Amino acid sequence: MTQGPSDADDPAPTAPILEAHNLHKHFGGAVAVDDVSLEVRPGEVHAVVGENGAGKSTFMRMLAGILVPNEGDVVMDGTRLEPGSPQEAIDAGISLVHQELSLIPEMTVAENIVLGAMPTRGGFIRRRALKATAQAALDEIGVGVDLDEPVSRLSVALRQFVEIARAVAREPRVLILDEPTATLTPAETDYLLDMLQRLADRGLAILYISHRIPEIFTICDTVSVLRDGELVGTVGIDDTSPTDIVDMMVGRELKQELQADHESNPQGVVLRARDVRAPGVNGIDLDVRAGEIVGIGGLVGAGRTEFVRAMLGADPRNAGTVQLTVDGETRLINSYGQAVAAGVGYVPEERRADGLALTMTVRDNIALPNRKALSSPLGVLKRGQIVTYAKDLADDVGLRPPRIELEAGAYSGGNQQKIVVAKWLGRAPALFVLDEPTRGVDVGAKAEIHRLVRSLAEQGTAVLVISSDLPELLELSDTIHVVRDGQIVGTLPRDVADESSVMALASGGTSMIGV
Amino acid sequence: MSEDTSTQATVDTVASDPPPGQAPELEQQETTALQWIAERGIFLFTALLIVIAAIFVDGFASLVNITDVFNRAAPIGIVAAGMTFVVISANYLDLSVVAQVATSAVVLIAVNNSAGLVPAIGVAIAIAIVYGLVNGVAVGVFKANAVIVTLATTFIGIGILRWQSGGSIYFAGEDSLIRAFGTAKLGPFPLSMIVFVGVSLALSYVLTRTTFGFVIKAFGSNPEATRLAGINTAWVVIGAFMLSALGAMIGGFVLAAFSQTAVSSMSGGYDFEALAAIVIGGTSVFGGKGSVLRTLLGVIFVSVLSNIMVLSGLGFGVQQMAIGALIVAAVSLDALARKAATS
């Protein structure tokens, strides 16, 4: 991605196309967005950044008419939009690319792109017009996908692009993207940023939500920072720096924590996996020692998650032996139940889908894996003990606010991930496996989760981390195994590994997206 | 607790609430009126209904009438208490209670007449275990849809019962214990009413105080997260259907004792009447939320409402219509409250 500063002419002093006037939104007593005003001009890429829970998504959803603001107006081309009408927002030219993919897996690429704006005649779908519209949208963003392919067969990255094509097919004048790169690899991210730049050059106004500061400095003209629902400031990209932005986002100094290193002192082998095979996993060997953090890098779809799940027995395994040695006793792991009983803690990739019971309290979520230790031999829960137990763990992971009687679903992504970590901390796992531990998590929570992982390793826990976030992988891991096509294609010790060496192994030197 | 300081002066201080001053960042979460009704409405509505009935409906506020309401509600109430576990585990409902209740009643009377009470209860327990296992394994292990599975086991069960009984009516023996149970009272309270309340309280204890109930709730809220917490979720589902079968079995006993007779067609409509009580009580059809005490209240609410209608001379058709409308209201409220909580 070489976006030269040559064409970075200042945003032309054209009239703003979209304006937010003093938007305010609260859910019950909790203020999500407080008096935020913002303007976007045609051709401008405007970043909205902030920690999780800062109110970015709520703000965007008000712009798109999905949420009704308690106060304030959304104005498009000088006309006030009806609050809470997504259809009017779309008609006015505002298109939102959702953070959580909203495609229908069983439908084809073409059907998904035109969904909601099906070309019909007398109630019948016009197949040819449908395909033409879809193709035009894909051409516009420069992505080649078979129109008749079911979306379920596409990679995560391609699905994200189809999602963008769908927004573009509505011929928007303002495009809102909510964390579009969260699930993308660096190569895919570069491709997406190029695409957005081209769209902006053609006069589209883009609102871009992201946690990733380098991306913002690659394509954005203006940055607005939200913190605790309030607008901290809007600055031109040339008048600021990454450190300034982070300081505005967190409002506190984090650098020390981010830089902190841990003493690695690996001891005996805890996990010993040999020739693990499963769909997408083609024979992987892995050792993890006590007190060591082993990282697994690779592109999305390389088979990392599949490997870990098959290894732990969470998904069926075709072949392979997995042993766990705890306190000198070695046990064979053939099912997930055995893995947990032997001392494995597993933080899954999808925390909302797989990690938490969102309608249960934080207390119950934390107590769940350790319920046996918190009940009498007959299975009667020791309720007082559970409260103390959950409270202590919520404090340990820095849950904010530490209200264990709230439903887990009431918390933001970073806090939810802390709850998932807390669930396992109480069992003092011998092997702690974390899959994408900080995806979609704000800077502060990320630092705290990293601190926890490091301190666990220092106390002798064997830790296995899967991450698509290269700086995270490099910062945490003592050793990095890079997975490609379901195999380990290279192993890099801490002092050798850097972003380019991991990426070179992960990508195999070829580009990810064949367009 | 025996503190006499004024720090505990607030009425609603619950032991499990976090101590004050711990959570300065987030204000006390307000709940919308909608959420309040979805969460607590049943308590208010039941109380209101009883007060209104006591004032305006002639013949309602008498001990005879009240105990009669409970007596009639007992079989369905016990069935609903057991089925609550299936609903909380996010498996919708157990339709096969229709077959289970009738089978239990017929077995109790028929086997008691021929071989005595102990063999009768033994056979009924064995049948309940088979129902719980078949439903539970199909849904929990094979991941089949609970509605279809229990619809099928209803067919199988009723089929077997008709085939074996030839559709005949069984009468409890003149001086059998079953007959005695049906008319027995403890003070002013019929025995069946005491069994109803007792079973509800016992099952409530299982749901709220044991690891088993805890895990059922977790599973209903998020099955995959529960599995990844290291829990054998097949057993969770089997357990839920086992408790439903237990409720249906005891419900069948009480129904047999109350009717003094048993026939394969005696429990028609028990599936939906039980579900009505559960959802009107406020247990979520999405799973993960609810309680047996709510079901108890739901049963009382529906029974009192029917009783009022009977006393006011309204027919069965009107009662059915009213209960149907209440179910729509209850599940809509549940869905709306859920939406409000997540938007």
Task: With CB atoms and an 8 Å threshold, state whether A379 touches B342.
Answer: no
- Asked if A151 and A103 count as a contact pair (C-beta separation under 8 A), the reply is yes
Residues 6 or more apart whose Cβ sits within 8 Å of residue A128: none
- Asked if B246 and B80 count as a contact pair (C-beta separation under 8 A), the reply is no
Contact residues, chain B to chain A, C-beta under 8 Å: 15-18, 22-32, 209-212, 214-215, 217-218, 221-222, 224-232, 284, 288-289, 341-343
Residues 6 or more apart whose Cβ sits within 8 Å of residue A468: A183, A185, A297, A299, A300, A436, A439
Dihedral angle of Cα A488, A489, A492, A498, to the nearest 10 degrees: -120
pLDDT category, B13, cuts 50, 70, 90?
Answer: very low
pLDDT category, B153, cuts 50, 70, 90?
Answer: very high
- Asked if B266 and B108 count as a contact pair (C-beta separation under 8 A), the reply is no
Cα separation, B3 vs B191, whole angstroms: 41
Q: Which residues of A touch B215 (CB under 8 A)?
A: 368, 371
Q: What is the DSSP string of A166-213?
A: HHHHT--SEEEEESTTTT--HHHHHHHHHHHHHHHHTT-EEEEE-S-H
pLDDT category, A257, cuts 50, 70, 90?
Answer: very low
Task: Give a yes or no: residue B323 inside a domain.
Answer: yes
Interface of A with B in 334-353 (CB under 8 A): 336-337, 339-341, 346, 348, 353
Task: With CB atoms and an 8 Å threshold, state whether A372 touches B211.
Answer: yes
Q: How many CB atoms lie within 10 A of CB A23?
A: 26
- pLDDT exceeds cutoff 70 at B9: no
Q: How many CB atoms lie within 10 A of CB A460?
A: 17
Residue B78: give the domain boundaries: 38-49+60-333
Residue B21, pLDDT score: 34
Give the position of tokens 């070179």: A504
Task: With CB atoms and an 8 Å threshold, state whether B209 touches A369.
Answer: no
Count of domains in chain B?
A: 1
Determine the residue of chain B that is closest to A309 in CA distance.
B228
Q: Which residues of B touch A357 (CB under 8 A)?
A: 217-218, 221-222, 225-226, 288
| Secondary structure element (H or E) that encloses residue A245, with its range | helix A242-250
Q: Give tens-digit pLDDT for A56-92.
A: 888 998 999 988 999 999 999 989 998 888 888 988 9
Residue A28, pLDDT score: 64
Interface with chain B: mutation pick from A368, A417, A427, highest number of B CBs within 10 Å: A368
Contacts by B131-135, CB closer than 8 A, 24 or more apart: B131/B96, B131/B99, B131/B100, B131/B157, B131/B241, B131/B245, B131/B248, B132/B238, B132/B241, B132/B242, B132/B243, B132/B244, B132/B245, B132/B246, B133/B238, B133/B241, B133/B242, B135/B94, B135/B96, B135/B241, B135/B244, B135/B245
- Asked if A19 and A72 count as a contact pair (C-beta separation under 8 A), the reply is no
- CA-closest candidate to residue A502, choices A346, A347, A302, A308: A302
Residue A443, pLDDT score: 80
Determine the residue of chain B that is closest to A344 in CA distance.
B230
Considering just the CA atoms, what is the radius of gyration of chain A in Å? 24
Residue A52, pLDDT score: 61
Looking up residue B186, the CATH number of its domain turns out to be 1.10.3470
Cα separation, B149 vs B143, whole angstroms: 10
Task: With CB atoms and an 8 Å threshold, state whether B228 touches A314.
Answer: yes
Interface with chain A: mutation pick from B214, B216, B289, B339, highest number of A CBs within 10 Å: B214
Looking at the complex, report in whole angstroms how far the Cα of residue B36 sits from the nearest Cα belonging to chain A. Answer: 12
Task: With CB atoms and an 8 Å threshold, state whether B214 touches A339.
Answer: no
Residue A255, pLDDT score: 41
Task: With CB atoms and an 8 Å threshold, state whether A357 touches B227.
Answer: no
Residue B50, pLDDT score: 92
pLDDT category, A261, cuts 50, 70, 90?
Answer: low
- CA-closest candidate to residue A178, choices A103, A113, A235, A96: A96
Interface with chain A: mutation pick from B30, B204, B206, B228, highest number of A CBs within 10 Å: B228
- Note the pTM of the prediction, 2 decimals: 0.74
Determine the residue of chain A that is closest to B31 in CA distance.
A28
Looking at the complex, report in whole angstroms how far the Cα of residue A364 sits from the nearest Cα belonging to chain B. Answer: 8
Assign domain A265-343+430-437+461-507 to its CATH superfamily: P-loop containing nucleotide triphosphate hydrolases (3.40.50.300)
Give the pLDDT mean for A447-460. 92
* Start-to-end C-alpha separation, chain B: 40
Looking at the complex, report in whole angstroms how far the Cα of residue A421 sits from the nearest Cα belonging to chain B. Answer: 12
Task: With CB atoms and an 8 Å threshold, state whether B225 touches A354.
Answer: yes
Give the pLDDT mean for A4-25. 71
Q: Give tens-digit pLDDT for A186-245.
A: 788 888 999 999 999 999 999 998 767 788 888 999 999 998 889 999 999 999 888 788
Residue A101, pLDDT score: 62
pLDDT category, B7, cuts 50, 70, 90?
Answer: very low
Amino acid in the structure at residue A14:
T
Residue A13, pLDDT score: 60
- pLDDT exceeds cutoff 70 at A10: no
Task: Give a yes or no: residue B3 inside a domain.
Answer: no
Residue A247, pLDDT score: 77
Task: With CB atoms and an 8 Å threshold, state whether B29 touches A28.
Answer: yes
- pLDDT exceeds cutoff 70 at A2: no
Cα separation, B16 vs A90, whole angstroms: 47
Cα separation, B251 vs B28, whole angstroms: 43
Q: Which residues of B touch A83 (CB under 8 A)?
A: none
Residue B69, pLDDT score: 92
Q: Which residues of B touch A30 (CB under 8 A)?
A: 26-27, 29
Q: Over the range B324-334, which residues count as b (16 or more CB within 10 Å of their CB) and which as e?
A: eebbeebbebb
Residue A514, pLDDT score: 30
Task: With CB atoms and an 8 Å threshold, state whether A423 touches B228.
Answer: no
Interface of A with B in 392-431 (CB under 8 A): 400-407, 409-410, 423
Looking at the complex, report in whole angstroms how far the Cα of residue B308 sits from the nearest Cα belonging to chain A. Answer: 36
Q: Over the range B110-130, which residues count as b (16 or more CB within 10 Å of their CB) and which as e?
A: bbbeeeeeeebbebbeebbee
Specify the 3-state DSSP secondary structure of A397: coil
Task: Give a yes or no: residue B83 inside a domain.
Answer: yes
pLDDT category, B342, cuts 50, 70, 90?
Answer: low
Residue A9, pLDDT score: 47
Cα separation, B143 vs A55, whole angstroms: 39
Beta bridge partners of B170: B262
Task: With CB atoms and an 8 Å threshold, state whether B229 touches A336.
Answer: no
Pairing of strands A18-27, A71-76: antiparallel
Looking at the complex, report in whole angstroms how far the Cα of residue B288 sits from the nearest Cα belonging to chain A. Answer: 7
Q: What is the DSSP string of A74-85?
A: EEETTEEPPTT-
Cα→Cα distances B151→B116, B144, B162, Å: 32, 12, 17
Interface with chain A: mutation pick from B36, B207, B211, B286, highest number of A CBs within 10 Å: B211
Domain boundaries, chain A: 16-93+172-252, 104-171, 265-343+430-437+461-507, 349-428
Task: With CB atoms and an 8 Å threshold, state whether B227 touches A336.
Answer: yes
Task: Give a yes or no: residue B30 inside a domain.
Answer: no
Average pLDDT of chain B, as a whole number: 87
Helices (H), chain B: 33-56, 63-88, 97-115, 117-136, 146-165, 177-183, 191-209, 211-221, 223-228, 233-259, 270-281, 292-311, 316-342
Q: Over the range B29-56, which residues count as b (16 or more CB within 10 Å of their CB) and which as e?
A: eebeeebebbbebbeebbeeebeebeee
Task: With CB atoms and an 8 Å threshold, state whether B228 touches A354.
Answer: yes
Q: How many CB atoms lie within 10 A of CB B187?
A: 5
Same fold, A16-93+172-252 and A265-343+430-437+461-507: yes
Report for A2-11, A328-337, A350-359: range of highest mean pLDDT:
A328-337
Interface of A with B in 246-305 (CB under 8 A): none
Nearest to B18 among A27, A29, A405 (CB): A405
pLDDT category, A29, cuts 50, 70, 90?
Answer: low
Residue A241, pLDDT score: 85
Give the pLDDT mean for A442-458. 90
Residue A450, pLDDT score: 94
Task: With CB atoms and an 8 Å threshold, state whether A409 touches B342.
Answer: yes
Pairing of strands A205-209, A45-49: parallel
Interface with chain A: mutation pick from B206, B207, B219, B221, highest number of A CBs within 10 Å: B221
Percent of chain A residues past pLDDT 70, beyond the cut: 90
Give the pLDDT mean for A281-285. 94
Task: With CB atoms and an 8 Å threshold, state whether A381 touches B30.
Answer: no
Residues 6 or more apart whose Cβ sits within 8 Å of residue A107: A115, A150, A151
Exposed/middle/buried for B269, CB within 10 Å: 0-12, 13-18, 19+?
Answer: exposed
- pLDDT exceeds cutoff 60 at B12: no
Pairing of strands A431-435, A479-484: unpaired
Tokens of A127: 């197949």
Task: Give a yes or no: residue B101 inside a domain.
Answer: yes
Task: With CB atoms and an 8 Å threshold, state whether B230 touches A314.
Answer: no
- CA-closest candidate to residue A61, choices A84, A37, A44, A42: A84
Please state which CATH number belongs to domain A16-93+172-252. 3.40.50.300
Beta bridge partners of A124: A121
Higher pLDDT, A446 or A264: A446
Q: Which residues of A touch B343 (CB under 8 A)?
A: 27, 67
Report for A29-38, A134-143, A152-161, B117-126: range of highest mean pLDDT:
B117-126
- pLDDT exceeds cutoff 50 at B113: yes
Give the pLDDT mean for B44-49. 90
Average pLDDT of chain A, as a whole number: 86
Determine the residue of chain B that is closest to A401 in CA distance.
B23
Residue A100, pLDDT score: 55
- Asked if A315 and A278 count as a contact pair (C-beta separation under 8 A), the reply is yes
Give the pLDDT mean for A170-181. 89
Determine the residue of chain A that is closest to B232 in CA distance.
A337
Residue B341, pLDDT score: 65
Looking at the complex, report in whole angstroms how far the Cα of residue B296 sits from the nearest Cα belonging to chain A. Answer: 22
- pLDDT exceeds cutoff 70 at B22: no
Residue B19, pLDDT score: 36
Cα separation, A115 vs A105, whole angstroms: 12
Residue A485, pLDDT score: 84
- pLDDT exceeds cutoff 80 at B27: no
Q: Give tens-digit pLDDT for A477-495.
A: 999 999 988 999 999 998 8
Task: With CB atoms and an 8 Å threshold, state whether A391 touches B215.
Answer: no
Task: With CB atoms and an 8 Å threshold, state whether A359 touches B27.
Answer: no
Cα separation, B100 vs B245, whole angstroms: 7
Tokens of B208: 């709220």
A–B CB contacts, 8 A cutoff, strictly below? 115
Nearest to A28 among B31, B209, B288 (CB): B31
Residues 6 or more apart whose Cβ sits within 8 Å of residue B334: B38, B279, B282, B284, B285, B286
